[in-house]
Amino acid sequence: MRSEIRVATNQAPPLVGHNIITGDASLVEAITRHASADLVEDLAVVGAEAGTPEAREHGMLANEHHPELVPYDRYGHRIDEVAFHPSWHWLMQRAIGHGLAATAWEQQEAGSPYAHVRRAAGFMAWSHTEPGHGCPVSMTYAAVPALRADEAIAKEWTPLLASTAYDPGVRLASAKRGALAGMGMTEKQGGSDVRANVTVARPTSVDGEYTLHGHKWFTSAPMNDVFLVLAQAEGGVSCFLVPRVLPDGSRNQLDVVRLKDKLGNRSNASSELEFDGTVAQRLGDEGRGVRTIIEMVAATRLDCVLGSTSLMRRAVNEASWHAAHRSAFGSLLAEKPLMQNVLADLAVETEAATALAMRLAAAVDAVDDPHEAALRRIALPLAKFWVCKRTPYLVAEALECLGGNGYVEESGMPLLYREAPLNSVWEGSGNVNALDVLRALGREPEVLDAWITEVGRARGGDPRLDRAIEDTLALLGSLMGEPDRLELNARRLAGRMAAVLQGSLLVRFAPPEVADVFCASRLGSAYDGTFGALEGGDLRAIVARATPVVG
């Protein structure tokens, strides 16, 4: 008979068997607001599968068994393939099958008014399973708007990228049921300064065809079927499409030098590539490469916000679930006032991120609306800067709610913690996005008008928000005309603009207790960013709203 000391008690049960979509009140409200209640029902199957024990197990296994580079086959032929654990393929098959890659673009073309809202909510929910495989899914989604720079190329590749069939393997694209895209922009010597790229593009005798000679320092993801890359042509930095397999069925000259040994995102293969006569097709005009690929960058920014929001929500789920089942000092942790303060603060941060992320997805759906286009231009770098920057801090605090239980791998929290900084680094760091906000404000006056219009829709709803709007505009006015001061304060300005935008959405759409706490903390002059330092509000209701319900 086992002694009582060997029987585990006072431990939270595993968080499985819940619906990631329907169990997230803020996400359900956002989907309904920007689309319809019917779409929530349609997405419920994604949320249900994402919350299964099987999905959780596959996510853990895909991270435990890292991808491996296979440069040569058994006969010594150079193949440059990547081998993945079966759990990776399980996750990819379902992500693609649920239409979370590029399907939304074809749905939008077919007249669906909510294609990108659907895809955004599904991507956010499915990322709870494991965030790393979201990278090739995101790259595939983001490639389509850039491909539209060339009608023939777009016609050839978009149906494959928009397919719901996951068909891995290096084969001729025309022989596949679906394809995946990757992107290679940065190089060793330049990083985010892509105009410093040294990869050379040399035209061949075929119209629009070039050979590439050089390297890419960080390419995601090397097992994909086609890549968008930047290189120096005679007319300047240009964008090129690089297929893995050439029309005659032979493999393109594309060497995978190594896979990156990364802090997180370890299930995903990120690589260094070398080009030596690699065949490529020009996408757009010579010298317009940055402008061409920026369409892809904008779409990846949205996914960075969605992915970071998903990490936040998963972390808050785990923390609130643990606190609802773990007792200490005579009662449940969730009943302790200070723990309620922490959990409510984390929940409010997550709800603000959700509201902003889904608002941006709705803006992508509004393809012909000038206000929405201008809002996308300013709000995407704002959200990318702010939401991704807040995520590591939030995940660390959520991990601490589990104490030692959160520090062991089986909890899943270390995976989230390692992943948390990724989206702030990907596609340009916080500085790059803060400076892009300044660039947009300086070159496109309509973007400030769009921000003012959007936050102005909540005027009168909360005096703290009203003051924050005026203070932010005053800050911007004091900096304009002084370039050095403006750049020095770029992060401060971007953070304030993003928080005000979040606040305006919560005031308009969130429950009063959520909007009240957000405005009192994030928009107040005394806020120092410390989670769990709220000074009042209906914290119990906020925590209850954020705690998952199983069954």
pLDDT, residue 177, reads: 98
pLDDT, residue 3, reads: 58
Q: What topology does CATH give the domain 181-289?
A: Butyryl-CoA Dehydrogenase, subunit A; domain 2 (2.40.110)
Residue 329: what residue type? Answer: F
In angstroms, what CA-CA distances link 40 with 30, 84, 134, 312? 10, 33, 21, 21
pLDDT, residue 2, reads: 56
3-state secondary structure 239-264: EEEEECECCCCCECCEEEEEECCCCC
CA–CA separation, 432 and 424 (whole Å): 10
| Beta-bridge partner residues of 81 | 70
User: Would you tell me how many other CB atoms lie within 10 Å of the CB of residue 396?
Assistant: 16
∠414-346-301 over CA atoms, to 5°?
75
DSSP H helices, 326-369, are 337-365
pLDDT, residue 537, reads: 93
CATH 1.20.140.10 fits 292-546, yes or no: yes
Q: What parts of the chain have a pLDDT lower than 50? A: none
DSSP H helices, 326-336, are none
Q: Are 117 and 361 in contact (CB under 8 A)?
A: yes
The DSSP-derived string for 166-214 is ---SS--GGG-S---EEEE---TTTTT-GGG---EEEE-SSTTEEEEEE
According to DSSP, residue 224 is labeled S
Q: Are 501 and 455 in contact (CB under 8 A)?
A: yes
User: Would you tell me how many other CB atoms lie within 10 Å of the CB of residue 177?
Assistant: 10
pLDDT, residue 196, reads: 87
